[in-house]
Structure 1
Amino acid sequence: MTEQSLTQSVDNLALLPAYLAAGTAVLVLLADLLVGRRGATVAALVTGAAATGIGAIVVGRGGERRTFCVADACSYLATGRSALVAVLFALLTVGVLALSAAILRNGQVPVGEYCFLLACSMTGGVVLGAAGDLITLIVALETLTLPLYVLVGLRRRSVASAEAAMTFFVVSVVATALTLLGAALLYAVTGTVHLTALADAFGADPGLLEVPLTAAAVGLVVLGLAFKVAAVPFHAWAPATYDGAPVPVAAYLSTASKLGGVVALLAVTSAALPATVTGPVLAILAALTMTVGNLVALRQTGMIRLLAWSSVAQAGYLLAPLGALALAAGRTPDARAAAVAATVAYAIFFVVMEFAAFGAVVALRPAGADGGDLDDYRGAARRRPWVGAAFVLALIGLAGLPPGLAGLFAKAAVVRSLLVGGAGWLALVVAINAVIGLAYYVRVAATLYAPAAVPASPDADAEGAGRSPWPVPVALAVATGIAVLVGFAPQLVLDAAGW
């Protein structure tokens, strides 16, 4: 290795989105310390998130930029993929902040800490999309996740919130330890941690795949990242954590946190690790995850737990195309590209519809309340027709039914990628689980339009019907509008997914 390969200059333009995201966290902290007003702190976060998204688009449109390189292997890659991920995290940060208007206004959570932690988490997500080696990827994923431990437990005087934060913390620490151990073993086998260099090492020496240490290393990395997406059997933390967290934080966990896990898994399975090893593991995880998630969701009576188990099932659909990579690798390049594109497209569709579902829950519940039981939503769509319609659209989109065209297209993209990749049995499992999922999605939709229950007190119905702060319906309307747009113009997502 030459000295020249180690002393390449840093490309600060490539790092611009990361600088802007980290600067947002500093700006929020200063606004809270120096100004001390809720409006200034919130404005700092919104402005910084917008600047981060715009900066990512500008850098991404300029073509691929690399920095922190050793020879041809780079630790940071600013591409169209990284720009897409950065924009998604910036939008989710602003969206969750909008859903949090009620709990910020009534002092349920401290504004400064809340906004600062959201900005720190966004920074991790921005760097994650550009990570070019396992160490950068794991550090970025932990930067995304660490603030969530505090956000989950930030609700004052709530035992459930503290328990949820502790559960999330313990499980996540174990997952990180497994991932780091796997990365260390991979370095021992190949002598590198860069994603492209790992792929080159396995391609140049197929005998490495016969080494037992290789299988153990790959398995540990995949299983460690599977915790992040709440894949079965590493899913038990998700329902308890979602249920104990403030509802807007649960929305962030179900969207941004899961998106981070998917991005990490996609990076290591499609660009670095041998598909012949990762494919069977992910295929089994996908089948178990969607089946267990759907079956347990059928029995749920709490709204947040139902959405949590639904999110577990959706993780199975996200993992399914990656499970077909082993078979797709032996077929045409189009089959492999279809598997990757299906995962990206489904992730985008899922994030939009899941956010809309949680946004509707926030809009229909009293300010600062938990998710409540399904019976609490009886007749809610009759009292709040527009919110109810948005909720139903999100539910049928998650189920993959028309007129939720975004969800229908997402399911079709996954099934098509499995058939093209030769994983017909997994496509059949996806189809069966899609039918099972209809039962609880339709049950919730029917409850929303059922005759309203008699309120326990004269003011109960008025409180439930709500006077949501204006950012909540605006965020819900934007998410619903995006869902409708991508449903009628799915090629917009496909073009973005083709990285």
Structure 2
Amino acid sequence: MIGELTAQPVDHLALLPAYLAAVTAVAVLLADLFVARWAVTVAVGVTGAVGVAGVALYAMGQPERRTFCGSLSGVDDSLGFACSYVADSRAALVAVLFAALTAGVLALSVPTLRTGTVPAGEYCFLLACSMIGGVVLGAAGDLITLIVAVETLTLPLYILVGLQRQRVAAAEAAVTFFVVSVASTAVALLGAALLYGAYGAVHLDLLAGVSGLAESATHAVGGSVDGQARLARVGVVLLLVGLAFKVAAVPLHAWAPKTYDGAPVPVAAYLSTASKLGGVVAIVAVVTEGLYPQLAASGPVLAVLAVATMTVGNLVALRQRRMVRLLAWSSIAQAGYILVPLAAAAGLAGRGVEERAVAVAAVFAYAVFFVVLELAAFAAVVALRPAAADGGTIAGYAGVARRRPWVGAALVFALIGLAGLPPGLAGLFAKVAVVRSLLVGGAGWLALVVALNAVVGLAYYLRVAVTLYARPSALPAQGAAPAGGALVWPVAWPVAVVLAAATVVAVVLGFAPQVVFDAVAG
């Protein structure tokens, strides 16, 4: 241990978004218990999520608040104060995103819940519990809080994936997700334990200070690496590899396509957006806040993960024939784009504050743009499929944009945005931000890899867009399902609201991307 922690008073205002998220989960459970109507349960869940987002939005403009803090005796004054919960503007932004995604996925789930194929109470309660983990994750100030928040975000998803008990594919997807996730969590915990063993600290601020002093001492004696430094670097690598599972980064990516395709489409939307966002937030906190003095160890690891993830994701997506599997492999490739700025700032381009700031801004901005466009894409898929159906084959969507022009146009806009082409300006600015961060960090070769992968991604995004407007040789009559399984059924109004809202937000962010950059910059 580096010192004895003396507790300070708890700031309950800093914890207010987390409190509201927990109240939402309890309220959903009570609504299902005493009212037992799925519409009321969903309404309570959506109302609670909107309340969490509102409180977090208000907190975004307020001064930073810290709680679960303590002073450490026996250490330098500059390292003697640490907090486990830091409610700053970035944490508020993360809380807003998780709350908005939870409300959106609840609305997308209305057609599925209406059929009774999944129990509404358990479904909404599990989503609300997952939201608690996401809200806390953004403010995590130590490795224990961070890992517990990540697991709180992830654990309910195991059950949600397999909640359609009558589908064998759902059960297989849930088991695959669970097994790989448990293994990755064990790896992350081992990494955290090694870091604690090396430095005697779990708080991110303390880890940064203590590891910085250790690295300075190493350089002062001629660069020789002692046992403590080796232990810490192994811990960094293991922690990053364990957290990489949450963003479906290669080599811990194989669970994503099977899980997304086997889960209900709204749950797949949540996995592709909220779960991935949680992994990004955790990795950013570890790399840029707690372990930036260890950048020499984390930088090459992140570079390998990012390059392999975007390349494998794009190449395998080219061969996909099912819509949700294509979106799954696409999201894997997008995870590579999200991670690559951290690799540049972390070890390949020096340790300057400017490089880290640009990298963090690029990562968060890309993550925000991605989750908005990805949610819009999944909302369009839900709108174009019968209630409780899976995503179907890509061929089954042939000509669907001619029958549902607005829904088809929204899906094409989301796909073009993910590809980084105009008029999807949000996606274009996201990729520009990533490339700019790489050039600022001096990692030009990584910028070239990103550009090449973006070109590969155009092939499958444009293929789907062309399919939507294709002219099938024999179109079925109105009200009948085409042979491929695409749809002409009425769109539920909650689904239409989510699709319209996500599309409008994507358009607004395309014309005013600085709103996101200002928010992530604090």
Q: TM-score range by the shorter chain?
A: over 0.9
The match for 1:475 among 492, 498, 511 is 498
- Whether 1:341 aligns to 2:373 is no
- In 1: Cα distance, 2:453 partner to 2:137 partner: 31
Q: Which residue of 2 aligns with 1:78?
A: 87
The match for 1:459 among 475, 480, 483 is 480
Scaled by the length of structure 1, the TM-score of the pair is 0.97
- In 1: Cα distance, 2:250 partner to 2:347 partner: 22
- In 1: Cα distance, 2:331 partner to 2:47 partner: 30
Equivalent residue letter for 1:78: A
Q: Which residue of 1 aligns with 2:302?
A: 282
Q: Which residue of 1 aligns with 2:268?
A: 250
Equivalent residue letter for 2:252: F
- Quote the offset at 1:188 in angstroms: 0.4
SS at match of 2:86: strand
Q: Which residue of 1 aligns with 2:180?
A: 171
Equivalent residue letter for 1:241: T
- In 2: Cα distance, 1:341 partner to 1:86 partner: 17
Write out aligned runs for 1:280-359 (5 A): 280-327=300-347, 330=350, 332-359=352-379
Q: Which residue of 2 aligns with 1:97?
A: 106
- In 1: Cα distance, 2:466 partner to 2:62 partner: 49
Q: Which residue of 2 aligns with 1:58?
A: 58
Contact 1:321 1:342 in 2 (8 A): yes
Q: Which residue of 2 aligns with 1:8?
A: 8
- Whether 1:139 aligns to 2:134 is no
Q: Which residue of 2 aligns with 1:240?
A: 258
Equivalent residue letter for 1:255: T
- Quote the offset at 1:361 in angstroms: 0.6
The match for 1:154 among 149, 154, 163 is 163
Q: Which residue of 2 aligns with 1:269?
A: 287
Please, which moves more after superposition, 451-460 or 409-418?
451-460
- Quote the offset at 1:59 in angstroms: 2.9
- Quote the offset at 1:196 in angstroms: 0.7
- In 2: Cα distance, 1:165 partner to 1:463 partner: 26
Equivalent residue letter for 2:462: V
- In 1: Cα distance, 2:380 partner to 2:473 partner: 19
SS at match of 1:232: coil
The list of structure 1 runs, each at least 4 consecutive aligned residues, that deviate by more than 4 angstroms after superposition, is 1-5, 207-210, 455-458
SS at match of 1:9: coil
Equivalent residue letter for 2:12: N
- In 1: Cα distance, 2:377 partner to 2:11 partner: 40
- Quote the offset at 1:472 in angstroms: 0.6
Please, which moves more after superposition, 54-63 or 458-467?
458-467
SS at match of 1:76: strand
SS at match of 1:312: helix
Q: Which residue of 1 aligns with 2:277?
A: 259
- Whether 1:195 aligns to 2:204 is yes
Please, which moves more after superposition, 433-442 or 453-462?
453-462
Equivalent residue letter for 1:297: A
SS at match of 2:320: coil
SS at match of 1:205: helix
Q: From the superposition, tell whether residues 463 and 323 of structure 1 become closer, same or farther in structure 2 (CA, over 3 Å).
A: closer
SS at match of 2:462: helix
- Quote the offset at 1:44 in angstroms: 1.2
Contact 1:301 1:373 in 2 (8 A): yes
Q: Deviations over 1:215-257 (max 9, x none)?
A: 2101100000001100011100000000100000000000000
Equivalent residue letter for 1:53: A
- In 2: Cα distance, 1:304 partner to 1:38 partner: 26
- In 2: Cα distance, 1:405 partner to 1:491 partner: 12
Structure 2's unaligned 5+ residue stretches are 72-80, 219-224
- Quote the offset at 1:30 in angstroms: 0.6
Contact 2:67 2:85 in 1 (8 A): yes
Contact 1:41 1:112 in 2 (8 A): yes
- Quote the offset at 1:330 in angstroms: 2.7
- Quote the offset at 1:151 in angstroms: 0.4
Q: Which residue of 2 aligns with 1:445?
A: 465
Contact 1:124 1:142 in 2 (8 A): yes
Equivalent residue letter for 2:167: S
Equivalent residue letter for 1:413: A
Q: Which residue of 1 aligns with 2:240?
A: 222
- In 2: Cα distance, 1:236 partner to 1:4 partner: 43
Q: From the superposition, tell whether residues 132 and 483 of structure 1 become closer, same or farther in structure 2 (CA, over 3 Å).
A: same
Q: Which residue of 1 aligns with 2:451?
A: 431
- Quote the offset at 1:395 in angstroms: 0.4
- Quote the offset at 1:466 in angstroms: 1.5
Q: Deviations over 1:150-181 (max 9, x none)?
A: 00000130000000000000000001101111
Equivalent residue letter for 2:42: V
Equivalent residue letter for 1:374: I
Equivalent residue letter for 2:155: L
Contact 2:397 2:486 in 1 (8 A): no
- Quote the offset at 1:89 in angstroms: 0.4
Q: From the superposition, tell whether residues 329 and 201 of structure 1 become closer, same or farther in structure 2 (CA, over 3 Å).
A: farther
- Quote the offset at 1:2 in angstroms: 12
Q: Deviations over 1:300-343 (max 9, x none)?
A: 11111111000000000000001012347636422221111000
- In 2: Cα distance, 1:433 partner to 1:352 partner: 21
- In 2: Cα distance, 1:369 partner to 1:381 partner: 19
Please, which moves more after superposition, 198-207 or 313-322?
198-207
Equivalent residue letter for 1:124: G
- Quote the offset at 1:53 in angstroms: 1.2
SS at match of 1:69: strand
Q: Percent of counterpart pairs with the same letter?
A: 67
- Quote the offset at 1:58 in angstroms: 2.6
Contact 2:349 2:442 in 1 (8 A): no
SS at match of 2:138: helix
- In 2: Cα distance, 1:471 partner to 1:453 partner: 33
- In 2: Cα distance, 1:337 partner to 1:405 partner: 23
Q: Which residue of 2 aligns with 1:496?
A: 519
Contact 2:287 2:346 in 1 (8 A): no
Write out aligned runs for 1:372-451 (5 A): 372-451=392-471
